[in-house]
Amino acid sequence: MTTLIHMNTAVVEEILLNLPAEHVVLNCRLVCHEWKELVDSASHWRERCRREGFNACRPPDSWLLFHFLSKKRRNLLKNPRADDFLNGWEIVRNGGDGWASHGTARNPFPDSTLGITHCFVTSFGLCLKQQLIDLKEEGYSPAFMDRWQPDIKLSDWYTPRCDCGCYYEIWVRLLGQNKEVIRTFLPDKVYFPQWNDEQWCHMTHVFKNYGPGVRFINFIHGGKDTKFWKGWYGIRLTNSSVEIFPDDDA
């Protein structure tokens, strides 16, 4: 180990760059002062990001944080595209004929490269469904969330039927340990008239600077038709997502 400690700095850094990031932080950083300086340097993590293809639109405040969040980034919602019927979702309201899962052949999703073939559909009574995301279970510790407060981006796609009026609603809350509300996103309902152009619409929001204490994310959405027609003529939804973003260019 003494030989490794006194190796040329460039050689040591190349060795560190080829080790797992977690090992470098938890173990290599403790070897000596020189190694600690290398591991703590912005250049080390900037180079890791470059090699692993994590690109930032602007220099982040912390390249280390940017790297770890980029590796961890994923959709925290289960079954967001209705491929597995309603599995992963908790039904809040099941009005009319209730929730259903239909194919998107009638109105294909605008980005064909994503391979989205199904959507959730609502009925003539209010239909709402939700997921509760436990951030600790997803790998985001309380200490991490409190210190860094990374951006939380939500995204949702919805579309009406052209022959029936309907509305869409979404309600997302950041919750504390006891499910107390810390921050809420609750935009106005989106109404569509009968004989609309049946376009897919995209709802997005980014929670920033929300303060300490966030432990859960509660995602609720749904809607209904406004003609009270039996069947599934209400709003259709798919490709929902909640992501922890590595930078504020979300």
| pLDDT score at 52 | 86
Please indicate, yes or no, if residue 77 is contained in any of the structural domains: no
First-residue to last-residue Cα distance in the chain? 43
Pairwise CA distance, residues 165 & 193, whole Å: 4
Please give the residue range of the domain that contains residue 45: 2-72
**How far is it, in rounded angstroms, from Cα 56 to Cα 232?**
43
146 and 47 belong to one structural domain: no
- The residue among 42, 43, 58, 21 whose CA lies nearest residue 247 is 58
Q: What is the pLDDT of residue 250?
A: 45
Name the burial class of residue 176, with classes exposed (0-12), middle (13-18) and buried (19+) by CB atoms within 10 angstroms of its CB. Answer: middle
Q: What is the pTM of this model?
A: 0.85
**Phi and psi for 63 in degrees, rounded to 5?**
-65, -30
Considering Cα of 137, then 142, then 144, then 146, what sign does the dihedral take?
positive
Q: Is the pLDDT of residue 95 over 80?
A: yes
Among residues 72, 99, 125, the one where a domain terminates is 72
* 149 plus 229 within the same structural domain: yes
pLDDT above 50 for 59:
yes
Same domain, 50 and 123: no
Same domain for 104 and 63: no
Q: What pLDDT is attached to residue 1? A: 45
Residues 6+ apart with CB under 8 A from 45: 62, 63, 64, 66, 67
Would you say residue 112 lies in a domain? yes
208-230 exposure pattern, b = at least 16 Cβ within 10 A, e = fewer: eeeeebbbbbbbbbbbbbbeebe
Residue whose C-alpha is closest to residue 129's, from 192, 218, 241, 191: 218
For residue 133, pLDDT over 90 is answered with yes
In whole angstroms, how far apart are CA 176 and each of 100, 162, 180?
32, 41, 5
CATH of the domain at 46: 1.20.1280.50
In a shared domain, residues 27 and 97:
no
Asked whether residue 188 is domain-assigned, the answer is yes
- Note whether 99 and 50 are same-domain residues: no
* Chain centroid to CA 32: 38
Question: Does residue 82 lie in a domain region?
Answer: no
Confidence of residue 71 (pLDDT cuts 50, 70, 90): confident
* CB of 198 closer than 8 Å to CB of 159: yes
Q: Which of 72, 103, 121 is the last residue of a domain?
A: 72
Tell me, yes or no, whether 108 and 204 share the same domain: yes
Kindly indicate the confidence band of residue 2, based on its pLDDT and cuts at 50, 70 and 90.
Answer: very low
Given a contact cutoff of 8 angstroms between Cβ atoms, the answer to whether 40 and 25 are in contact is no
Query: How is 133-171 classified by DSSP, letter by letter?
Result: EETTTTT--HHHHHHH---EEEEEEEE--TTS-EEEEEE
The pLDDT confidence band at residue 6, using thresholds 50, 70 and 90, is low
pLDDT tens digit sequence for 173-231 = 999 999 999 999 999 999 999 999 999 999 999 999 999 999 999 999 999 999 999 99
Same domain, 65 and 116: no
| Number of helices followed by number of strands (H, E) in the chain | 7, 11
pLDDT tens for 44-53 read 888 888 888 8
Q: For the chain, what is the domain count?
A: 2
Residue at a domain's end among 40, 72, 104: 72
